[in-house]
Structure 1
Amino acid sequence: MFSELDKISEVDENALALYARLWQLEKWLREMVYVELKAKKGRNWFNFNRTKKTYESDKAVTHIPTADDNPLSFTTFTELVKLIQNNWDLFSEYLPPKNIWEVKLDEIIHIRNRVAHFRSGHADDIERLLQLMRDIDNGFWRFCTDYNDLQPILPPDRDAVAKKYIDLDPFSFKEVAPDEWAKVGSAPRELRYIVSIYSLRRRWADRSENIDGTPGYIYDVNVHIRNNKQFDYSKFLAAAKKYKAELIHICLDTFSSTVRVTIPAIFGSDKVSEIIDGLINIVENSMTLHRPINSDDQAVQKLSEEWPEYVLGPKNPLTFLGPDMPCSFFNVIKSS
């Protein structure tokens, strides 16, 4: 059986490869901008008026809806590039020096416009794009792995959020010797779920002992269900969407046993605790009996793709790629 592409003989395979790589680059640039700006500014991370008209126009086409809801998904590439330039301190750790980045991006903008307007490309277009992706490959790996570099908050009582939920984590870090901490403990049989609180720090953020209200720090909240129960993810997501303006991401796992939520510390401990309390209440009402693993092991990933960009499935590198997992982020191999 032939695919639709097989039937279109005039489609240039190089053009398709170029388009796919441009899509990959732009998708991850938008994700990076979203995470860094929201970690810095919280709810006011983006001026929605910039994209309101485009957003409303898209949502008005109700017969072909999409899950896209992030304002960045409705910005032009030029506007996205300006956001990076105007907030360079947030991205300098991941991208080449600013003067080099701007020159390379100017080339990519021209290449992108050729593709978007169906013009003939230059023979070197794909290689120029791939070279840029090689240049930023390690930076994006750092961006992603930083997001999974969970740090315990020690001692827990130095932070109001960590202190409040310490009793919900029987395996939390405990001081086993002066200035020596280890995860020890046991869970009571009747404990239905475990709530673990960690912190993340973006590279541009000043190191601080005080996470509460500090730009660039993120509370990482992990809720794991026990006792032969699992999440009804659809029910959880439907109830949790009221917090989407405050959260960065809700991360789902393949086995429906865990929910991971990231919340900017800039909101302050009172607001963060209010959100966590609300999420715990939703957890209480979203548990169901454990079912045998579905023969379709893509079910959770497929569900995540039905939701807006703040919901991540288990295949997204932001949910699993850690500092101990070296790899090529874009998988761009240098031509021989």
Structure 2
Amino acid sequence: MTWDPATAFAIEAGDRNGVPARSLALYARWWQLETWLRELVHVELEAKHGEGWLKVVARANGRQAQDAVFAHMESADSRNPLAYLDYSQLLEIIAAEWDLFEPTLIRRSSWEGRQDDLKRIRHRIGHVRKAHSDDLERIEQVLRDLERGAFIAAASYNRRFIPPVGMDPITTGWLAGEHPTARRLLASSHAKDRYEIHFDLEASRRPWATSVQVADPAPGLLWHVEYILGSRVLNVPDLWRNLAGVRGMIVHLVATDPQQVTFTFSGADRAEAVSNAIGVTFDAVIRSSRPETKDGPVDDEWHQQCRDVDFRVVSGGYWDVVDESTVPITLFSAGGRGVSEPPVW
């Protein structure tokens, strides 16, 4: 990892002025744990409830509204209601929706049995108290135990299939080409010939999904809409600004590189609404692109700039990297073997 000068200076200054190195390490590990749980909860809730996932975390709205007053202090998490929950409230959601998390966490009795220790660690971090000598090892053990489930969560997201055509407005509209925007941009080859934009539509299922059918609605199903640009590049912040009308339906905007983005939608939302939202993303991709080829490899700074746009914009992380072929792998780098063989789910 390359630190910017201000970050490096602050860490060095803290070290010189008595900030315990163990406390910095502990905070880093807790950041990994809690941010991963938020990401997982977001994906699974939206896969089950669609736009209704916000109602499940409505208790966060008070803090979120208060934070909005300080617009100059907004960050990518400012619009993420999960970022306003205390850790204990996050656990309450997981417990209430356990069927969604059983495939991707550890055995429930073990999970719940560790929470008292984890809450104490979180409390010490929040109150800037010195760490217990075992705190770091406790969190790292939890991260090691979560490796398998985190792999399943991300690999299932990237286990794509082409859905049968004609079962719903999405496949009818975009694979059969009957949506008005599909007729305008795909059937006429306008997008390909003028803008060199390739369009692809696939689906995936969450590990807890019981239905194998593509229905309307289809909780547990995710739609993945991919755009690959030939001689054009995308400005991701500009693209996000052009999506104001449909952001509430977007699970993720996966920014792979300046010439490839994928939008993820929930099958729990009305298929007709998702189909129309896909049309909005297509026009937004065209408006936000410019004739140019990417210059050199994509670096960490580019990925970070994308992630800084919004919590739903993911780039260079679990959701766009991990699949069944990426083994052996460790997702948390917390010691142990990680995942050496793709697990069965």
Aligned residue number for residue 194 of structure 1: 198
Any conservation in 1 of the 2:159–2:323 contact (CA below 8 Å)?
yes
Q: 1:325 to 1:292 in 2, by over 3 A?
A: closer
1:28 & 1:197 partners in 2: Cα distance? 27
Q: 1:140 to 1:37 in 2, by over 3 A?
A: same
Structure 1 stretches of 4+ moved >4 Å: 187-191
Aligned residue number for residue 283 of structure 2: 281
Of residues 296, 307, 310, the one that matches 2:309 is 307
Across the two proteins, how many residue pairs are aligned to each other? Answer: 313
Any idea what SS the aligned residue of 2:335 has? Answer: coil
Match status 1:138 vs 2:148: yes
AA partner of residue 65 (structure 2): E
**Structure 1 alignment gaps of length 5 or more:** 169-186
2:105 & 2:301 partners in 1: Cα distance? 35
Identity of aligned residues (%): 25
**TM, length-normalised to structure 2:** 0.84
Aligned-residue RMSD, C-alpha: 2.3
1:271 & 1:285 partners in 2: Cα distance? 21
Aligned residue number for residue 96 of structure 2: 86
Any idea what SS the aligned residue of 2:202 has? Answer: strand
Deviation track 1:191-244 (CA, whole Å, cap 9, x = no partner) reads 732221111100111132224311110111112223x22323333211113212
Q: 1:294 to 1:130 in 2, by over 3 A?
A: same
**Structure 2 alignment gaps of length 5 or more:** 178-190, 338-345
2:213 & 2:239 partners in 1: Cα distance? 33
Any conservation in 2 of the 1:138–1:328 contact (CA below 8 Å)?
no
AA partner of residue 206 (structure 1): T
**TM, length-normalised to structure 1:** 0.86
1:136 & 1:232 partners in 2: Cα distance? 35
Question: 1:109: how far off?
Answer: 0.7
Q: 1:191 to 1:285 in 2, by over 3 A?
A: closer
Question: 1:36: how far off?
Answer: 0.2
Any conservation in 2 of the 1:67–1:305 contact (CA below 8 Å)?
yes
Question: 1:259: how far off?
Answer: 1.9
Q: 1:129 to 1:303 in 2, by over 3 A?
A: closer
2:225 & 2:40 partners in 1: Cα distance? 20
Aligned residue number for residue 7 of structure 1: 13
Of residues 32, 35, 39, the one that matches 1:24 is 32
2:300 & 2:18 partners in 1: Cα distance? 34
AA partner of residue 10 (structure 1): G
Any idea what SS the aligned residue of 2:45 has? Answer: helix
Deviation track 1:127-170 (CA, whole Å, cap 9, x = no partner) reads 111111111111111111111111121x43444422322267xx
**More helix, by proportion:** 2
1:233 & 1:139 partners in 2: Cα distance? 30
Any idea what SS the aligned residue of 1:261 has? Answer: strand
Aligned residue number for residue 105 of structure 1: 115
